[in-house]
Amino acid sequence: MRAIVDTGPLVAYFDRRDSHHAWSAARIEALDAPLLVCEPVLTEAMYLLSRFPNAQDALLGLVRNDAIMIAFRLDQHIDAVLGLMRKYHDTPMSLADACVVRMAELHEGHTVLTLDSDFTVYRMHGRLPIPMSHPGA
């Protein structure tokens, strides 16, 4: 399976104390490389892993080794991302979430790997549910 990965599973993959570690590790290891991310997801994950410098190194190592690919340029999709953030302002939608939704629109056949239940509310192209893998699904 090809996937777009959100912040939560990346952090849980590296943090063995996270309640979703086993779920995230099993899912990530079963996915076909490269896993797609956007820079806001990578930034959030690096921040949340700041107490684990070895995990930060390992995460960036996955980017270096092409197991994770930064597959989104915000400057090329700014209007769509702003539109999503305005539409879901009451959720509220983070920049990372908006980029992941836009990536789901662009990368057909990819599943969004997330721990965030807001992805059950978000829609691709305004009306289509996002294919996702979530611990509650």
Topology of the domain comprising 2-133: Rossmann fold (3.40.50)
pTM of the entire structure? 0.96
Q: Domain extents for the chain?
A: 2-133
pLDDT digits (tens, 9 = 90+) for 70-124: 999 999 999 999 999 999 999 989 999 999 999 999 999 999 999 999 999 999 9
E strand map for the chain: 2-5, 35-37, 68-70, 110-113, 123-124, 128-129, 132-133
